[in-house]
Structures are given as structure tokens and as C-alpha cells.
Amino acid sequence: MVANRSSVQPNSRSWHKRFPGLSQWLEALPYLLPTIIGFFVFILGPVIASFLLGFTEWDLLTPPKWIGLGNYQAMLFDTPLFWTTLRNALYYTLLFVPGAVILPLFIAVLMNQHLRGVTFYRSVYFLPVVTSTVAVALVWQWLYNPEFGPINYLLKMVGIKGPAWIASPEWAMPALVLMSVWQVIGYNMVIYLAGLQGIPEEYYEAAAIDGATRWRQFFSITIPLISPTTFFILIVSIIGSLQVFEQTYILTQGGPAYATLTIAYYIYQQAFQFFHMGFGAALSYVLFVIILLLTLIQFRVQKRWVFYN
């Protein structure tokens, strides 16, 4: 019966039957074509090219010269600045991540009480997110001015002599982080707010009936149930910390005394100011591997603290 029916099928249709996958692919292909081209030309191709470039010396003018592991050797053993960028990345991450996680959560929890004017608050906190880091950094540069800036003026009013901020090697990095936290609060707060609204009200009601205090509720209900959101923000914040570029470009250009030289800025300098394309590519691969490792570690560790419903 079955065989009979298939033999009746017109011949042109039979390959559709024989290779159903292929015909489905042909149907999907026109839709996927731009993305597939983009994947090969702008993602996979460059990822491979970057890997290969990392083994060459190339100034864009003369043909690239294969130097094997030369760039990586130079980086690890003869370039103290490379270690400076790693130390700066660590310092930035340690300062930035707590601020980028705790402050937005705190504000989101405050907003999640069905307060009046939440929409207004949200739009104000979100303002720095939509504006460019360039414009924002220009103002902060002025706010940080040690002599005429309003921040040191406020500090002076309460009897503190403010530091030189971005002009001082000790304070430049904290100043950079402060501005970045200010800029990211609204973004992370909106994500937290969405997460908080997904926690059923009944949990809190039940806890309140059992006599749990607000603090107790926060630590026993909110923190565990919001942990997937925290995990996401943590990953994004750490990756972001390793890629800081614009803040440095506008505020400090890596200085003073390399105190704010970030990996991303160093790559930019090496590749596009000194035209050390090979060395820049090698640096970018180190960054890639660090990000990959850190993310993998976090996905491993998350099982211990992230709570999925």
C-alpha cells in the first residue's frame, strides 16, 4: 500500500521525500543567507585571521612576517605594561562589580514596593544609559576638576580635601569606576526590576505570616530567587570590566603613569596608533581566552549559588 502510493508520486517530488532535510534547508537558506555570510565574513573569518595574525609581525606597510610565538613571548617576558593592564583589569573589576550589582539591586527593591512615581524614577536613573560615554565623560572630567570642580567643592564643604581624581595615579581608577557605576546603575536596575516582578507576592505574604522580618524576607526570598538575574549581571559586568575603552579614551588616555591603562585601550594603542597589528591581535586573543575562562568558571560555580525555580 505504502510502496504503491510512493510510486504514484511524480518524479520531481521524489528527491524531496528522499532528502527531506535538504529541501527544508533550501527553504530556510534565503532567510538565513545574510546571517550566514555575516557569520563567515565578520565573525568566524576574523576570529581565525586574528589567531593567525597573532603569530606575525605586521605594520600594514610591509608584508606580515611569521614570528611564531614571538608576540606571546614578548608580551609575557618583556612587556611590563601587559602585566599592568592585567592588574588594572583586576582592580577595575573588584571596584566595579560590587557597585554594579549591589546598588542597582538596592534601588530596584526600593522601587518594587508599588511606589508612586516609579516610572519617573526609572526614566531619570536610565538617562545615563542612553547617553554616550563620550558626552558623559566630558562632564565628569569637569566634575572631577580638582580646583574648580563641584565634587571637590562639596567635599570641601564637609571638611575633606578632595584628591586630584583623574590627575592622580591613586585616584584615577576609582574615579573611572565611579563614573562607570553611575552610568550602569539604570541598566542593571531595570533588569533587576523585571526579575523582582517575577517573584510571586504570595511568598512574601506567607513569610510575613510566619513572622519573618523584612530583612529576613530579603535574604531568604529575594536574594535566592533573584540569583539568576544576579548571575547574568555578574557575567556581563565582569566581561564589561575587561573591555573598558571609552572611559579611558576620553578621561585619562591610560594615564596618569599607566594607572588606567586597560587591555582594550592597550590593544587600540598597539594596533591603531603604533600599527603593531600582530601584537595587537595576540593581545586580543589573550583577552578572548581570559573572558572565555572566567565565563566558564562562573557557569561551573553558579550551580552552588544560583537558584532556578
Partner 1 sequence: MNIPSTSTRSTSGQPTLALRKPFSARQVNKVTRRLLSHLILVAGCVVMAFPFVWMFLSSLKTDAEIFIFPPHLLPETPHWSNYQAVMDSMPFGWFVFNSFKISALAAIGQLLSCSLAAYAFARIKFPGRETLFVIWLACLMIPYQVNLIPQYVLFRSFGWLDTHYPLIVPSFFGGVFGTFLLRQFFLTLPSELEDAARIDGCSRFGIYWRIFLPLSKPAIATLTVFVFMSNWNNLLGPVVYLSSYEKMTLTVGLAFFRGQYTTQWALLMAGAVISVIPIMAIYAAAQRYFVQGVVLSGIKG
Q: Is 226 in the site for partner 1 (CB under 8 A)?
A: no
Print the binding letters for residues 108-147 with partner 1: x by CB under 8 A, - otherwise: --xx-x-x-x---xxxxxxxxxxxxxxxx-xxx-xx---x
Q: Which of residues 273-292 bind partner 1 (CB under 8 A)?
A: 277, 280-281, 283-285, 287-288, 291-292
How far is the C-alpha of 184 from the C-alpha of 196, rounded, in Å? 18
Do residues 98 and 156 lie in contact, with contact meaning Cβ atoms separated by under 8 Å? Answer: no
Minimum CB separation from partner 1 for residue 224, in Å? 17
How far is the C-alpha of 174 from the C-alpha of 196, rounded, in Å? 30
Q: Which of residues 154-173 bind partner 1 (CB under 8 A)?
A: none
Select 48 or 170, whichever has its Cβ closest to partner 1.
48
Q: Which of the stretches 72-80, 87-95, 165-173, 241-249 binds partner 1 when contact is defined by CB under 8 A?
A: 241-249
How far is the C-alpha of 262 from the C-alpha of 172, rounded, in Å? 12
Select 87 or 156, whichever has its Cβ closest to partner 1.
156
Select 110 or 297, whichever has its Cβ closest to partner 1.
110
Distance of CA 99 to the CA centre of its chain: 14
Q: Is 43 in the site for partner 1 (CB under 8 A)?
A: yes
Beta-bridged to residue 285, according to DSSP, are none
Q: Which of residues 64-103 bind partner 1 (CB under 8 A)?
A: none
Calculate the alpha carbon distances from 87 to 91, 157, 264, 287 in Å. Answer: 6, 35, 13, 13
How far is the C-alpha of 222 from the C-alpha of 196, rounded, in Å? 8
Query: What's the grid cell of residue 56?
Result: 606575525
Select 95 or 104, whichever has its Cβ closest to partner 1.
104
In one-letter notation, the amino acid at residue 29 is: L
Q: Which of the stretches 70-78, 93-101, 216-224, 229-237 binds partner 1 when contact is defined by CB under 8 A?
A: 229-237
Q: Is 186 in the site for partner 1 (CB under 8 A)?
A: yes
Do residues 201 and 217 lie in contact, with contact meaning Cβ atoms separated by under 8 Å? Answer: no
Minimum CB separation from partner 1 for residue 136, in Å? 7
| Interacting residue with partner 1 among 6, 14, 35, 73 (CB under 8 A) | 35
Select 103 or 223, whichever has its Cβ closest to partner 1.
103
Alpha helices in 80-171 (DSSP H): 80-111, 118-130, 133-143, 150-157
